[in-house]
Amino acid sequence: MTISPDVPGIGLASLAMCLHNLIGRMPVIIKSRLGEGVMVEDGAVNDGEQLCNELDCALFDDMGDVIRTNVNMGKHTGLPIFISPVRDREGNNVAAIGIIDTSGMLTLKEFVDVTTRVRMQLQMWPP
């Protein structure tokens, strides 16, 4: 899998599905810098989701920190969302991944641990 700034959201759906299953099937949204977002929820991929406002914060934040905010539109309005940028080898933000905490149980530390593991795997790919 190659993650670039212009990969369409559906091209990132398999990564979103993997995270969705890994974290107890909480909704996951992913978006490349220039592409549309996709959301995985209840085991299904929904393309064209309109949660990109939150993801854009991480995409265009040069600090690259994990962002914790609340969803500001759609059926998950008001729920916490944890967002992390995905960087290329040069350190540029090329995509962003968000997890919507529908369970109320995800801590910032847990989210950072998950995203750290994903980043390490992506940096090691291809083998």
Please spell the DSSP secondary structure of 31-76, one letter per residue.
EESSS-EEEEETTEEEET-S-HHHHHHHHT-TT---EEEE--SSTT
- CA 32 to CA 2: how far, in whole Å? 11
Q: What kind of architecture, by CATH, is found in domain 9-123? A: 2-Layer Sandwich (3.30)
Mean pLDDT of 118-125: 68
* pLDDT of 126 above 60: no
- CA 40 to CA 120: how far, in whole Å? 22
Over the stretch 16-60, which tens digit does the pLDDT of each residue have? 999 999 888 999 999 998 888 899 999 999 876 556 677 888 888
| pTM check: above 0.85 | no
Over the stretch 85-118, which tens digit does the pLDDT of each residue have? 988 888 888 999 999 988 766 666 776 777 777 7
Task: For the chain, give every domain's residue range.
Answer: 9-123
What does pLDDT average to over the chain?
A: 82
R_g over Cα of the chain: 13
